Structure formats: C-alpha cells, structure tokens
Amino acid sequence: MITIGTYTLSVPFVAAPLSGISDLPYRLLIRSFGCELAFTEMISARGLAYHDKKTLELLKTCDADRPLGIQLLGSNAELLCRSLDVLAEIPHDIIDLNAACPVPKVIKKGEGASLMKDPKKLHDLLKRIVAKTTKPVTVKIRAGWDHRSVNAVEIARSAQDAGIAALFVHGRTMTQGYHGSVDYGVIRAVKEAVSIPVFGSGDVLSPLHAHMMISKTGCDGVVVARGALGNPWIFQQIAAFLTHGTLIETPSLEKVVQTMVQHLNACCDLYGERHGAVVFRKFFVWYTKGIAHIRALRNKAFHAATRADMLDIIGQISP
C-alpha cells in the first residue's frame, strides 16, 4: 500500500502522463490490465483557465476512469489556480505538476523541466496549488537540467516542504530528453532525502526493469511510460513479477489482435469513425512491433481513414 495524501494505491506502479497517448481509451484499456492510478497527458493550465475547447477535450473521462491523476503544465501561479477552479467540475483524484517536460516550446515558456532551474519558483507554485485544491498534489521532476546541475534532491526536499504528497522522478536530465541511461543513484538519493512516496521513472520497459528500478533505488513504486505502448499487458506482468516472482508469457497474436480491435473501437466511439482511426494509427505500429513482414500492413494502417479500413487491416495480421 502506498499512501498519496488521502489516496491509497494498492500496487507499486502508475501509468505515466504521455502526451498524445494517455487519453481516455488508452487509460480504460490499461486499467483492464491491472493499472490502478493513471494520469492524463500534460494539460495546459492556460488552456484550462481560458476554457479552451481543445484543452477541455483532453480531459474527457468517465466513471470507470478512476483513480485519475490530472497533470498540469504551467509556470504562472494565477493561471494554475484558475485551472484548478475549472477542474472542480471534472472528477479526478490527484493533481500533478509537470516539471519534467523537455520539449523546446514548453521550455521556452519557462514551463516543464525549466522549473528544475528555479527551485524557489517551483516551491512557490506547488505551495499555491496545495493551498488551492483539496486533492493530493504531486510533482514530476527530472534528475536535473543537465549533468552539471543535477539537483533532484534539493528540488524534492523543497517540494516536500511545499506540502506535496508524492514525487515522480525521471532519472534523466532535461538535456538527455528520452535517451541515454537512467541515473538510479539520483532516484535513490531522492528517496533517502524525503519521507513522502517516491516513484522512479525511466526505462521501465518490462517487469524485470520494474524490479531493477525498485531494488536499485529503494523507490516505493515505478512509473510505466513507453513500456506500455502496444503492450498494455505490462501492468499485469509487473504485478505478477513483483508479487510472486512469476513471469507471465507475452500474449498470443490472437490476444494482441483482439486488444487492437478493442482499443480501435474505443478510439472511434470517443473520437468518431475517422478521427478515431487516425488516433489509432500510431498504436497500430506499437502493437505490431516484432511481427514478421509487417511493413506493408503498417503502411496501409498509416493511411487508414476510417474504423472499417483499420478493422480490415487488423484482420489481415497473421503470424
């Protein structure tokens, strides 16, 4: 059991916020495979504060989509607080602040991983958010800005002082982006420096990686990100491995195809026959990783314009 403020997590893993990926269909699917706490992708506080239609669409949820963490992106305290007013209408369980995103257009605005460069500002923002919401507040940070300024421990202590309930630490610096090795030492140092739960992020691509993250860092739980792409079973696999040391076999092709259809249908039910198929295209590539001679079908999937087109292509997948 991991206590995150008023919320108790019964498994030592969460599903990462993933921009362009962790939408409602994705979250419902991974929940069916044992994920408990799932996060929305990063949501612009400005967009929310101004009731931007596209931003609000990213927050589509339903009763089965709980517990839900909403990740906010922003660096302006007023806008972040106004966005929390808008969120009062949307069911959710946890508020997370993004201090980890390395994307240039985010960094330019002083948001995301930029906040790693200004511990005082991050502390003040978190304090304001904690004071404003009744939900537990968490923050997702990086090891630091670059290898010369690794400051996750300082940031973690100051975030804890601001009243947050848990920390998610991506063990890479901003300049590493999503490449290079994960620094388990930094995550360990953060875990030793604070008393709130710490979740390790970075290359949790299999149950063995999850086990390694926990054993090397002493962290309370792991964040599953790219490891779940086209592989929603990873949550079941991690649970079985961490609890019983059992390695669950990878699913049969039949099961993969069945899951693809389920995922595609959920996308089309939410986004419509055409846009749903477009949203699903990238998932087609991930689900079919490792299948021999798949290139021609992937090319077709990349041009599939409707649910019917995509279903037809999925039906042609063979071992």
Ligand X SMILES: Cc1cc2nc3c(=O)[nH]c(=O)nc-3n(C[C@H](O)[C@H](O)[C@H](O)COP(=O)(O)O)c2cc1C
DSSP 245-268: ---PPPPPHHHHHHHHHHHHHHHH
User: Considering the rule CB under 6 A, would residue 48 count as an interface residue with ligand X?
Assistant: no
Stretch 289-318: interaction string toward ligand X, x if CB under 6 A: ------------------------------
Cβ distance to ligand X smaller for residue 71 or 259: 71
Cβ distance to ligand X smaller for residue 127 or 142: 142
State the minimum distance, in angstroms, from the CB of residue 316 to ligand X.
27
User: Considering the rule CB under 6 A, would residue 41 count as an interface residue with ligand X?
Assistant: yes
Instruction: Give, for 309, the enclosing helix (H) or strand (E).
Output: helix 307-315
| Catalytic residue positions, numbered | 101
**What phi and psi values does residue 137 have, to the nearest 5 degrees?**
-110, 135
Name the one range near ligand X by CB under 6 A: 152-160, 221-229, 241-249, 297-305.
Answer: 221-229
Stretch 136-155: interaction string toward ligand X, x if CB under 6 A: ----x---------------
User: Considering the rule CB under 6 A, would residue 167 count as an interface residue with ligand X?
Assistant: no
Stretch 232-261: interaction string toward ligand X, x if CB under 6 A: ------------------------------
Collapsing DSSP states into helix, strand and coil, what is residue 98? Answer: strand
Report the relative pairing of strands 94-99 and 221-224 from DSSP bridges.
Answer: unpaired
Asked if omega into 232 is within 30° of 0 (cis), the reply is no
Cβ distance to ligand X smaller for residue 189 or 261: 189
User: Considering the rule CB under 6 A, would residue 203 count as an interface residue with ligand X?
Assistant: yes
State the minimum distance, in angstroms, from the CB of residue 293 to ligand X.
27
Burial of 178 (0-12, 13-18, 19+ CB in 10 A): exposed
Report the relative pairing of strands 37-44 and 13-15 from DSSP bridges.
Answer: parallel
User: Considering the rule CB under 6 A, would residue 98 count as an interface residue with ligand X?
Assistant: yes
Cβ distance to ligand X smaller for residue 71 or 151: 71
Name 226's Cβ contacts closer than 8 Å, sequence gap at least 6: 178, 205
**What phi and psi values does residue 61 have, to the nearest 5 degrees?**
-145, 180
222 pairs with which residues across the strands?
A: 13, 200
d(CA 201, CA 71): 15
User: Considering the rule CB under 6 A, would residue 201 count as an interface residue with ligand X?
Assistant: yes
Residue with tokens 């990063």: 42
Name the one range near ligand X by CB under 6 A: 58-66, 197-205, 256-264, 266-274.
Answer: 197-205
Candidate list 9, 58, 94, 100; residue touching ligand X; CB under 6 A: 100
Cβ distance to ligand X smaller for residue 194 or 205: 205
User: Considering the rule CB under 6 A, would residue 17 count as an interface residue with ligand X?
Assistant: yes
User: Considering the rule CB under 6 A, would residue 190 count as an interface residue with ligand X?
Assistant: no
Q: State both tokens at 234.
A: 């990873």
Name 141's Cβ contacts closer than 8 Å, sequence gap at least 6: 99, 100, 116, 152, 155, 156, 159, 167, 168, 169, 170
Q: State both tokens at 106.
A: 């985010």
How many binding residues for ligand X (CB under 6 A)? 22
CA dist list (Å): 191 to 16, 133, 243: 19, 25, 22
User: Considering the rule CB under 6 A, would residue 16 count as an interface residue with ligand X?
Assistant: yes
User: Considering the rule CB under 6 A, would residue 227 count as an interface residue with ligand X?
Assistant: yes
User: Considering the rule CB under 6 A, would residue 23 count as an interface residue with ligand X?
Assistant: no
User: Considering the rule CB under 6 A, would residue 38 count as an interface residue with ligand X?
Assistant: no
- Point out which residues bind ligand X (CB under 6 A): 16-19, 21, 41-42, 71, 98, 100-101, 140, 170, 178, 201-204, 223, 225-227
